[in-house]
Amino acid sequence: MTDIVLETTRALVLVAIVAFLLKAGRDKFELSRTGWKLIVAGFGLLLFGSLLDITDNFENLNKFVVIGDTEVEAFLEKFVGFLGGFVFLALGLFKWIPKVQELSDIIDARTKHIQEAKDKAEAAEELFSKAYHSSPALFTISTPKDGRHIDVNDAWSAITGYSREEALQKTVFELGLWANTEDRIGFVEQIKNKGCIRNYETVFSTKNGVEKDMLLSGELIDFRGQNCLLIVGQDIFEREEIDRYKHEFISIASHELRTPLTSLKGALGLIHSDVVGPGSRGHENYS
């Protein structure tokens, strides 16, 4: 009775193993397919030998087994089933293990590549973060549709008068930052259509009510897995002041240069027209 229980248990375990291997290997392990098939065949032969071994304990089952309790059955059970099963298992392992190692090496290489890419991405993000926060230009990251701030830099706070905490608590529209709301809507629409926009002029209404002329550039970016709007801008009041000073300088310089040139041109004209008189010529002859 003990033999029957043990042999039946062994057969059930082998059935479970073969079923698992067939399911696990389906559409997988392409690199090690041959070795995997040999391993499955090996367990299949062991199961075959186990089933034949079980029939030896039940005489009533012999009539269902064509070979019966004969030397042929013993040969199939011992040599084909068990010995053949172990041989196939050994061959399968010899072919499968190196392929698994090759797969492991590929996975390690790709893992290393992914880690290097991750390190580069983190370094680039750190560099961007430093440039973002220390830049004299306004930087802001927000959601395109509802204008919810994801982040702003110090220059943004300096220009708008709002702190970073205030920005994160309220949207662009709640702050009333864009003096003309339609400008912001049009700005976003142009970015969606073109991918990015450069030198967009608009007016910001600051916290203390002062309106500032702004020159903005923007584009859509993937920021931490979220589609966001990146805006870079500057207060163009200083630029306009510089342009005004430049024009004033050019105007003054042009006037100052034009005055002596005009006098010189007039003197040359007098000489050429003999207005100086003959006395001048006599003086020339005398000399």
The 10s digit of each residue's pLDDT in 195-209 is 899 999 999 999 999
Residues 87 and 18 in one domain: yes
Return the CA Rg of the chain.
45
Residues 206 and 139 in one domain: yes
Q: Which of 43, 75, 107 is the last residue of a domain?
A: 107
Residues 88 and 16 in one domain: yes
Q: Is residue 248 part of a domain?
A: no
Residues 156 and 201 in one domain: yes
Q: Tell me, what's the pLDDT at 159? A: 92
Number of domains in the chain: 2
Residues 141 and 199 in one domain: yes
For residue 205 the two structure tokens come to 């209404």
Q: Tell me, what's the pLDDT at 160? A: 94
Q: Is residue 91 part of a domain?
A: yes
For residue 68 the two structure tokens come to 């019966």
Residues 98 and 134 in one domain: no
* 223-255 pLDDT, tens digit each: 888 899 999 999 887 666 556 656 665 666 565
Residues 164 and 83 in one domain: no
pLDDT class for 184, splitting at 50, 70, 90? very high
Q: Residue 18: is its pLDDT beyond 70?
A: yes
CATH number at residue 165: 3.30.450.20
Amino acid, single-letter form, for residue 129: S
Residues 81 and 157 in one domain: no
CA dihedral 113, 119, 122, 128 (to 10 degrees): -90
Q: Tell me, what's the pLDDT at 171? A: 94
Q: Is residue 263 part of a domain?
A: no
Model pTM score? 0.49
Q: Is residue 277 part of a domain?
A: no
Q: Tell me, what's the pLDDT at 284? A: 46
Q: Is residue 273 part of a domain?
A: no
Residue with tokens 């973060």: 129
Q: Is residue 102 part of a domain?
A: yes
Q: Residue 143: is its pLDDT beyond 50?
A: yes
Residues 163 and 218 in one domain: yes
Q: Is residue 158 part of a domain?
A: yes
Q: Tell me, what's the pLDDT at 287? A: 40
Q: Tell me, what's the pLDDT at 256? A: 54
Domain that holds residue 213: 130-239
Residues 97 and 157 in one domain: no
pLDDT class for 57, splitting at 50, 70, 90? low
More confident of the two residues 48 and 163 = 163
pLDDT class for 164, splitting at 50, 70, 90? very high
Mean pLDDT of the chain: 79
Query: Which residues have CB under 8 Å from 179's CB, separation 6+?
Result: 202, 203, 204, 205, 211
Residues 88 and 152 in one domain: no
Q: Which of 92, 107, 122 is the last residue of a domain?
A: 107
Q: Tell me, what's the pLDDT at 280? A: 47
Q: Residue 106: is its pLDDT beyond 70?
A: yes
Q: Is residue 66 part of a domain?
A: yes
pLDDT class for 283, splitting at 50, 70, 90? very low
Q: Residue 68: is its pLDDT beyond 90?
A: no
Amino acid, single-letter form, for residue 193: N
Q: Residue 66: is its pLDDT beyond 60?
A: no
Residues 141 and 83 in one domain: no
Q: CA 226 to CA 147: how far, in whole Å?
A: 14
